[in-house]
Amino acid sequence: MVSPDTIRTAIGVIGNGTALVLFLSPVPTFIRIWKKGSVEQYSPVPYIATLLNCMIWVLYGLPLVHPHSMLVITINGTGLVIELTYVTLFLLCSRGAARRKVFLLVVTEIVFVGVVAVLVLNLPHTYERRSMIVGILGVLFGIGMYAAPLSIMKIVIQTKSVEYMPLSLTLASLVNAICWTAYALIKFDLYITIPNGLGVLFAGAQVVLYAIYYKSTQEIIEASKRKANQVAMTEVVVNDGKTNNHVGASLY
């Protein structure tokens, strides 16, 4: 018979895979941002929140804090590198106050986690206390990571468009949260259960929202394309009219 530990490890490996998909799902979005040289209406909040979340969980998984958590370290360490790449691209393609805000938030996060790491590794003298301190922070910031897209959901409801809420990111968040909730429940870990359980609810709400506004999004996109074509045709007509006037003038 398969032991609970084996099942948990298997789910953890699957969770690593789904989390990697989650971390990589914004790639098409950032390719678009890079090509246009602008962040448009995309929000940096989900990526900054995920970056902080990854840093905290890497700290949580360290042998001196919570032993036997290699799966937690590997995926969050990978996520840390990926999210830093996204944030860097956001900085390169944003301007003015928006760029300064993102930069200050990232620096603040790095300093904060550094201070927490120094205090946790030096003051508490048991694994239980270290796990509890970092675990509580992990719960708070994990909730923040999954709740970050709520700001995007507000925009979706206001504009009736899901253009700036990528479906790939939403689905990856849902599957990832389900896997890690199952992982935490098999050998109960309260600190992993709470944020991922809430993550299931938040991501599920985004899927529902996507289903509601998908049709209206397509209509808005088509209307924008028609408007752009009309403007282009108008410019062609105006330019042709100017050309004809010049020709007519040259005949006299």
pLDDT tens digits along 181-225: 888 888 788 888 888 888 888 888 888 888 888 888 787 777 777
Domain positions in the chain are 4-226
Q: Exposed (0-12), middle (13-18) or buried (19+): which is 220, by Cβ within 10 Å?
A: middle
In tens, the pLDDT along 26-41 reads 888 888 888 888 887 7
Instruction: Name the DSSP letter for residue 25.
Output: T
Query: H-type helices in the chain, by residue range?
Result: 4-24, 27-36, 45-61, 70-93, 96-122, 127-147, 150-159, 167-186, 190-250
The DSSP line for 79-97 is HHHHHHHHHHHHHHH--HH
Query: Is the pTM value of this prediction over 0.85?
Result: no
Query: 111-147: per-residue pLDDT in tens?
Result: 999 999 999 989 888 888 898 999 888 888 877 766 6
Residue 225's pLDDT is 72
